[in-house]
Structure 1
Amino acid sequence: MRRTRHAQHKPRSRPRPARSESRRVGLAGRLKTHLLRHAQVFFYTLGQLSRRPTSLLMTAAVIGIALALPTGLHVVLKNAQQLSGGWDEASQISLFLQRGTADSQARRLVSQLEEHPRIRRVHYLSPEEALAEFQRLSGFGDALDTLEENPLPAVVVVQPRLQRNDPATTEALLDELREDPRVDLARLDVQWVKRLYAIMDILRQGVYVLASLLALAVLLVVGNTIRLAIQNRRDEIVIIKLIGGTDAFIRRPFLYTGFWYGLFGGIIAWLLVSISLWILNGPVQKLAALYQNSFTLTGLNTQTTVGLLISGILLGLVGSWIAVGRHLRDIEPG
């Protein structure tokens, strides 16, 4: 009887938590702690920089100017392409038809050309329309009225469907159209097309070269700034290493400092390019009005703006990483 009562009052053993559940809890806790430390350092470095606004503004301004130059050239190149109505507009092919070609035959040729896969647009001028346009543009209207018959043939103006940096395609199309028996003469200023594409390529490559050189300059500026910050905190770094601080722990605030420099530099670059385009917009509109045209400079779109900010941040992080990795090894407890 006593044994039965004793067995009834015996405490039950609690079930142990599964190992997988404890691991998940431990992993979540470590991840939360890791993110919390990063957030603390993230705002701590911003607070430290805000205490030295002059130094922050000067460094970020240098980075901003370096980023603004290639970005501004890129935007100017895009506006120049838009202002000219597209670079491929300069590659028109003029087909002067044989004298005596019937209007029905000329329009049949136009219909065939409109279905050509390498032709973008076709415009037809009858002999009467060609004469009227020549009278209007040449200023010899009275002299042309004395002629007994119209000396001008029908003209078909062809706009090729060009691919970038490929004037050879236009030359091949010109040779193909020249073989048509209804065509008496086919004209295209191929040299101008080649020069135009060469100028475009030079400008584009120039933007890439300038961007690479200025990116290197940004890395040097950020690296030198972080180097000075490391030297100013040398005693603090030695103490942290003495109490067991890891290189990753020491490196973290300097990386976030580079992040802030790059971000503010990208913002300043955006402001510089936007203000420059706003200043130039008025004179460009006046120049376009002199040519009976209207044009407004296109600013930075969302894609270019995001790319500019990301480029600044990446350059700031890379410059900080290089500087910290190089100078942190030289600081050891003596």
Structure 2
Amino acid sequence: MKQSSHRPPQAAHKAQRASRKPQRQEPEAKPRPTGAVAARTRLGDRWHSWLGHHREMAVEALRRFFAAPLASGMTALVIAIALALPAALQLGLLNFQRAVAGWDGQPQISVFLHKDARDTAVQSFAGELRADPAVTEVTYISPEEALREFQQASGLGDALAGLGANPLPAVLLVRPRDTASDRLEALASQLRDSALTDAVVLDMAWVQRLAQLTELGRRLSAGLALLLALGVLLVVVNTIRLHIESRREEILVVKLVGGTDAFVRRPFLYSGLCYGVAGGLLAWLLVSGGAALLSGPVSALASSYDSGYALRGPGFSYLLALTGGAALLGLLGAWVAVARHIKAIEPR
């Protein structure tokens, strides 16, 4: 029996719709690029890469510093000694200025009166001086007050108590209005001409000498600091130069693969920074140890003069100043050494 060649109506209808439907064409595959491809890097990627390399170089510099403790320690100790000398001198000047801070820096004339001068004549003379327009203030110190002050300041109370009479005269402390040298000398000459005056002392001369001595010490400290800072730079430059020579082959390889001078320079800058920080810390320890050794004798000497003065050692501000200054010197020395020697190492 023959099968019928006619399809069912539903199947024929589906076939007719499928034949009318347009066929979707597959997109042609793009050809893949061959050879080297240049990819764009974002600014954030460059920033993270730059920070990552700085972090690596800092860790590597610390590792190299502690890998040779003897050589690194000797270099840091030389830097510390060079920094400790001007720092100790500056600290001594600060303590000296603090010790004399209680002294009156204003010009003052001490007028010592005759011992046989009467009180009424002395009071009249003091009144005339107070009325003088060239005088700002007049202070009267009686012989009894002068003796008490001398006993407290000198510590010779028992010896003075054995004296039969008070050897000290009355004193007038005259503070002039004009501080010019010629006016001070003219006023002192006028006071010497008085019949009640035994001696006149211009205390401004001692103040001027003290100020000149302090200025001399300050300039000496500044000159010594500049000279020894130059010595620190030379030490760092020589040390970094030796590091560069020992890593010459490594620098050549880095430059062959495209490393820039900044890339090559970075680890040596961190090495100089390590030497500077270590030298600054050691310098602070040296100055602190010296202050601790001298604090006892200074306190004992001050106690013998009935003074509560105590030597002040280097505090946290000194630590920051020494460490920061030494770090800058180490960084500057490393930069000078690298700028001079890195460019001379080029692949051929």
- TM-score band by shorter chain is 0.7 to 0.9
Structure 1 stretch 308-317 or stretch 25-34: which is displaced more? 25-34
Partner residue in 2 for 1:235? 249
SS of the aligned residue for 1:293 comes to coil
Q: Percentage identity across aligned positions?
A: 43
Match 2:99 to one of 59, 72, 83: 83
User: CA separation of 1:89/1:190 partners in 2, compared to 1, >3 Å: closer, same or farther?
Assistant: closer
User: Which residue of structure 1 lines up, in the alignment, with residue 332 of structure 2?
Assistant: 318
2:177 is equivalent to residue 155 of structure 1: no
| C-alpha spacing 1:226/1:105, structure 2 compared with 1 (3 Å) | same
Q: How far apart are the structure 2 equivalents of 1:134 and 1:62? A: 49
2:141 is aligned to 125
Structure with bigger gyration radius? 2
Equivalent residue number for residue 248 of structure 1: 262
Unpaired runs of 5+ in structure 1? Answer: 1-5, 7-24, 146-150, 162-167
Asked if the contact 2:108–2:204 (Cα under 8 Å) also holds between the matched residues in 1, the reply is no
Instruction: State how many pairs are aligned.
Output: 294
1:134–1:306 CA distance, 2 compared to 1 (3 A): closer
Tell me how far apart the structure 2 counterparts of residues 87 and 129 of structure 1 sit (CA, whole Å).
19
* Normalised TM-score (structure 1): 0.73
**2:306 is equivalent to residue 268 of structure 1:** no
CA contact under 8 A between 2:110 and 2:203: conserved in structure 1? no
Q: Deviations over 1:81-118 (max 9, x none)?
A: 223345656964324689645759848977999x96xx
Change (3 A) 1:93 1:54: same
Between Structure 1 and Structure 2, which shows a larger proportion of helix residues? Answer: 1
Cα displacement string for residues 178-206 of structure 1 (whole angstroms, at most 9, x for unaligned residues): 5999x956531454333322221221111
The Cα offsets for residues 110-138 of structure 1, whole Å up to 9 and x where unpaired, read as: 7999x96xx9xx75414664577689989
Match of 2:273 in 1: 259
Any unmatched runs of 5+ in structure 2? 1-21, 23-40
Partner residue, 1:21: none
Other-structure match for 1:296 = 310
Match of 2:164 in 1: 142
Q: Which amino acid aligns with 2:60?
A: Y
- Alpha-carbon distance in structure 1 between the residues aligned to 2:166 and 2:68: 78
- Deviates further, 243-252 or 130-139: 130-139
SS in 2 for 1:142: coil
Per-residue CA deviation, residues 21-63 of structure 1 (Å, 9 max, x unaligned), is: xxxx933332232222211211121112111111111111111
Query: In 2 relative to 1, CA 79–132 (structure 1 residues): closer, same or farther, beyond 3 Å?
Result: closer
From 248, 268, 285, give the equivalent of 2:299: 285
The separation in 1 between residues aligned to 2:180 and 2:207, in whole angstroms, is 9
Say whether residues 1:73 and 2:89 are aligned partners: yes
The SS at the match of 2:164 is helix
* Correspondences of 1:125-204 after superposition (within 5 Å): 125-126=141-142, 129-130=145-146, 141-142=163-164, 152=169, 155-156=172-173, 158=175, 169=179, 171=181, 174=184, 184=194, 187-204=201-218
Q: CA RMSD in A?
A: 3.9
Do the aligned residues in 1 keep the contact of 2:272 with 2:330 (CA within 8 Å)? Answer: yes
Deviation at 1:300, TM superposition (A): 1.1
SS of the equivalent of 2:46 reads: helix
Aligned match of 2:76: 60
> Structure 1's 251 and 133: CA in aligned 2 closer, same or farther, altered over 3 A?
closer
Matched, 1:28 2:44: yes
Name 1:214's counterpart in structure 2: 228
Tell whether the 8 Å contact from 2:109 to 2:201 is kept in structure 1 after alignment. Answer: yes
Which stretch has the larger CA shift, 37-46 or 101-110?
Answer: 101-110
For 2:88 and 2:294, locate their aligned partners in 1 and report how far apart those are by CA, in whole Å: 12
Question: Larger deviation: 232-241 or 130-139?
Answer: 130-139
Which residue pairs with 1:330 in the alignment? 344
- Match of 2:267, SS state, is helix
| Bigger Cα displacement from structure 2, 301-310 vs 261-270 | 301-310
Structure 2 CA distance for aligned equivalents of residues 134 and 248 of structure 1: 70
Deviation of 1:75 (Å): 0.6
Contact 1:130 1:155 in 2 (8 A): no
- Judged with a 3 Å threshold, the aligned counterparts in structure 2 of structure 1 residues 86 and 202 are, in CA distance, closer, same or farther, namely farther
Q: Kindly tell me: are residues 305 and 110 of structure 1, through their superposed partners in 2, closer, same or farther at Cα, counting changes over 3 Å?
A: farther
**Deviation for aligned residue 1:291:** 2.2
| Cα contact 2:299–2:309 (8 A) shared by 1 | yes
The alpha-carbon deviation at position 177 of structure 1 amounts to 6.0
- Alpha-carbon distance, 1:172 to partner: 6.3
Aligned-residue offset at 1:319: 0.3
**Runs of at least 4 residues off by over 6 Å:** 107-113, 131-138
2:184 maps to amino acid:
L
- Residue 27 of structure 2 corresponds to none
Deviates more, 1:134-143 or 1:188-197: 134-143
1:255–1:134: structure 2 CA closer, same or farther, 3 Å change rule? Answer: closer
Alpha-carbon separation, structure 2, partners of 1:126 and 1:170: 29
Residues 40 and 193 from structure 1, CA distance in 2 versus in 1: closer, same or farther, beyond 3 angstroms?
Answer: same
